[in-house]
Amino acid sequence: MPKIYVLAGEASGDLHGGNLIYALKQAIPDLHVRGWGGEQMQAAGMELVKHYKDLAFMGFAEVMSNLPTILQNFKSCKQDITAYQPDLLILIDYPGFNLRMAEWAKKKGIRVVYFISPQVWAWKESRVKSIRKYVDKMLVILPFEKQFYEQKWHYPVDYVGHPLVEIIDRFLATKPNPPAEWLDKKIIAVLPGSRKQEIRKKLPIMLAITDDFPDHHFVVGMAPGLDTSFYEPFTQNRKNVSFIQNQTYLLLAHAHAALVTSGTATLETALFGVPEIICYKGNPVSYQIAKRLINISYIGLANLIMNKPMVKELIQHDLTPHNLRLELQKLLYDESERKRIEADYVLLRSRLSEGGKASENAAQIIASMFTTPNG
């Protein structure tokens, strides 16, 4: 019986891992899968050993205070893999943990597949040296990553397409109806991020312009784990603002425009075809440090993929109510601007869909490794 061990350490990894495992079981019917992840991977047929919620340590102080737990996680993971004796180890993003596991597994003679590359093209590019040394097969989901690895680092990788395309297509195929209160006015989606610190920094600016657009309804997508009481102080005396939780895709499916913090949400918004403004403001010192460390031209994934300012980015001192008001007016009332963005979105979706569904493409490549001699 072919056996695969999968490691995912975040909610997004669990989502993409679940789709990959489902596709793998279609390609290899007698496959057995064991690993770390979450409900999505378990539902797809993986024997779940440890939940990703037990692995989420962010920031230097939190990592240091939880160091004994983290070290124990490495130890128990290695022990479980050794006992299971998989044919392949599949790593999904989560580089701080997974790259160390790749080194260990390679030295133990276990072939390693990495699905969804760490963002080494943005920072910590030196990690490519470890990837090239310890990863047998890298499956990338952004088209420019193939050029980055192969031309700059002479390391062959496979571009499989972006898994968000199939996830969003599946949602749109069964799009639920909007709440009744959304039917009277056009909806502006407001996605201010998931961490309290970034929400406090950006949401007041994003909502400062709501009174200037009384014919629109602003709906704030709340982060998981944060309730309405956290958001209410930002919306006092604003009549055309409401909240929705755990239904970001429903919001984007019915939005006319969006104000979005940088991250995966900017790409999701583009794939839903919603004209957007990317809003980012961080701590001034942290921003200056990041600006010197991060080697990218844009912060929005859609702009990075298309290698042009497809949608407007208001970053740091440029993120003001005045600038945001002007840019939103363009999105709402300049039909030529909307059509330009929508045309670019079509090209973006096409570029991310090359070759079919990402999970199926990845599964076929992984399945072929069972007929390939151990290298």
Instruction: Give residue 31's pLDDT.
Output: 96
Q: Return the number of other C-beta atoms located less than 10 Å from residue 293's C-beta.
A: 10
Which structure tokens are listed for 276?
Answer: 């957007």
- Contact 102/81 with Cβ under 8 angstroms? no
The 276-280 sheet, strands edge to edge: 241-245, 216-222, 186-191, 255-261, 276-280, 312-315
Give the model confidence (pLDDT) of 120-139 as tens digits: 876 778 899 999 999 999 99
> Would you give the distance in Å from CA 121 to the centre of its chain?
15
pLDDT higher for 120 or 141?
A: 141
Closest Cα partner for 321 from 213, 193, 206? 206
Whether 211 shows a pLDDT value over 50: the answer reads: yes
How far apart are the C-alpha atoms of 281 and 323, rounded to whole Å?
A: 13
Work out the average pLDDT over 209-225.
92
Q: What value does the mean pLDDT of the chain take?
A: 88
How far apart are the C-alpha atoms of 85 and 107, rounded to whole Å?
A: 14
Burial track 295-332 (b if 16+ CB lie within 10 A, e otherwise): eeebbbbbbbbbeeebbbbbbeeebeeebbeebbebbb
Q: 3-state class of 117 per DSSP?
A: coil
Give the model confidence (pLDDT) of 314-340 as tens digits: 988 899 999 999 999 999 999 999 999
Instruction: Give residue 239's pLDDT.
Output: 86
Closest Cα partner for 337 from 315, 312, 318, 314? 312
Give the model confidence (pLDDT) of 279-305 as tens digits: 988 655 555 545 545 556 677 889 988
Which structure tokens are listed for 37?
Answer: 């992840």
Whether 68 shows a pLDDT value over 70: the answer reads: no
Give the model confidence (pLDDT) of 143-164 as tens digits: 889 999 999 999 999 999 999 9
| Domains delineated in the chain | 3-161+354-371 (3.40.50.2000), 169-352 (3.40.50.2000)
Instruction: Give residue 61's pLDDT.
Output: 43
Residue 181 neighbours by CB under 8 Å, 6+ apart? 217, 242
| Residue 35: strand pairing partners | 6, 48
Say which amino acid occupies 322: H
Closest Cα partner for 342 from 269, 278, 280? 269
Bridge pairing between strands 186-191 and 255-261: parallel
- Contact 148/121 with Cβ under 8 angstroms? yes
Instruction: Give residue 288's pLDDT.
Output: 52
